[in-house]
Structure 1
Amino acid sequence: MIKILFLEDEPTISDVTTEYMKMQNYEVFQVENGEEAIELIKKVNFDLAILDIMVPKVTGIEVLEYIKLNRPQMATIMLTALGDEQTQLKAFNLLADDFVVKPFSPLLLLKRIEAILRRVIKNDNLKIAEKGISIHDESYQAFYNQKSLNLTLTEFLLLQILIKEPNRVFTRDILISRIFNEDYYTNDRTIDAHVKNLRKKLPKNYIKTVTGVGYQFNMEEA
């Protein structure tokens, strides 16, 4: 599941926008000040941070600076009522991915989130390809350094799902629904068995178990 850090000190904006994001199945962590944001960043591997600039204690710009020094892979959207050019340039000079001026439409913010996450996923897939793993959708084959991994159909579909959204944690139920026909009876143990067999054929530990949730493509190995 995509994890989003949302730094916003106005309760109504924070709660309403968070509900919109949760409707898209994002896991949202709400904080009201920059100190709380930095403490969470130290503990949680976020995919995206949405940062209001004018917040108590530590500003959103200072949080952005911390992210770029310590979590450079994290995408960022700056959110503020300040629409002046100087503030926007400062955010972009710190390599913020986007800048949204209040008041804003939650629906348009969701579209900006989708666009940024698509870029992040595309970049991750390029990194995976550079490391030697490739997926050929038309032939249902997977290769490592141009050598076939000799996967079964189920193993291929598992790898295909995980590798195309490497930031996402897939529950076993989602994997079952995507791989198997509705008439085919299966359960969590079946998925676990296929994952075990797939791992044996992969050259590295590319499949990460997320305890209590499911599986994710392991970008650390890629």
Structure 2
Amino acid sequence: MNKKILIVEDDHTQNEVLANFLRKENYEVFSAYNISEAKAAINDTFHLVVLDLMLPDGSGLGFLKELRKSSNIPVIVLTALNDEFTQIQSFDLKADEYVDKPVSPVVMVKRISALIERVYGNDEIITIHGYQFDFNNLLVYKEDQSAVSLTAREMNIIHCLFDNKGLTVPRRRLMELVWGYEYTDEDRLLDSHIKNLRHKLDNELIITIKGVGYRLNMEN
């Protein structure tokens, strides 16, 4: 659900400070303190790498070169080396950003968030009535983090109701939003999907306003 970040930094204090700031912003963070640990940790579930260049078992540029053979994951180089040659090498290896140390962890988090949003889009993950809805990735999770399988149409119904912030959406309007005008006479189609949603989720999540339409129970 949350974006996953690998910090490759041998200074434990700097690594942990940045990791803690990122976790406060709901990122999932893993720390590596050398190239060996970074190689062991990296996989295709990560969304971004923060990479120091001066590491105890080699140069971060070597790690970046190997990484680029198999992955286009965004990489922010964070280093005390601020010479032009090192910067050119980093960008030749397709580093996305080059940040000189020292840098405020608050500013660094902003840089990371901006890059992630540019690459992956702005995640829309909201909590409704104890369920987490990830509308971009069509995922739903219960409070115990177990997944609930919804169809794209069912997610769209929830999204349309959520956009109205707990206000009632008339049946006809909901049909238009979810199916388009060609389906506006098929009332039973909507009834069937609402029934399925109530079966899969909390029965009290979608409230029927008799003779009018539906609204979302926004209480958590």
Q: Tell me the equivalent position of 1:106.
A: 105
* Conserved 8 A contact 1:172-1:191: no
Q: Is the 8 A contact 1:65 1:94 kept in 2?
A: yes
1:9 paired residue number? 10
Distance 1:191 1:47 in 2: 34
**Deviating 4+ runs (over 3 angstroms):** 168-182, 189-192
Write the distance in 2 (CA, Å) between the matches of 1:58 and 1:169: 40
- What's 1:78 paired with? 77
Secondary structure of 2:120's aligned partner: helix
Instruction: State the AA in 1 paired with 2:32.
Output: V
The 5 A counterparts of 1:88-127 are 88-122=87-121
Q: Does structure 1 residue 193 correspond to structure 2 residue 200? A: yes
Q: CA shift at 1:191, angstroms? A: 8.1
CA distance in 2, matches of 1:119, 1:75: 10
TM-aligned CA deviation for residue 70 of structure 1: 1.2
* Mapping of residues 198-213 of structure 1, within 5 Å: none
Q: CA deviation at 1:119?
A: 1.3
Deviations 1:25-83 (CA, angstroms, capped at 9, x unpaired): 001000100111011114x52100000000121321112112211122x1100011011
Correspondence 1:17-96 to 2 at 5 A: 17-42=18-43, 45-72=45-72, 74-96=73-95
SS across alignment from 2:68: helix
* Residues 1:119 and 1:36: Cα distance change in structure 2 (over 3 Å): same
**Matched residue count:** 149
In terms of fraction of residues, the more helix-rich structure is 1
CA distance in 1, matches of 2:8, 2:139: 23
Report the Cα distance in structure 2 between the residues aligned to 1:69 and 1:13, rounded to whole angstroms. Answer: 28
Unaligned runs of 5+ in 1: 126-157, 183-188, 195-222
Give the TM-score of the pair, scaled to structure 2: 0.58
Shift of the 16–70 alpha-carbon distance from structure 1 to 2, 3 Å rule, reads same
| d(CA) in 1 for partners of 2:42, 2:81 | 25
SS in 2 for 1:92: helix
Change in CA separation of 1:17 and 1:170 when aligned onto 2, cut-off 3 Å: farther
CA contact (8 A) 1:51 1:76 kept: yes
State the secondary structure of the residue aligned to 1:69. coil
Local SS of the residue matching 2:57: coil
For 1:111 and 1:20, the matched residues in 2 are separated by 10
| Residue 142 of structure 2: aligned partner | 172
SS in 1 for 2:65: helix
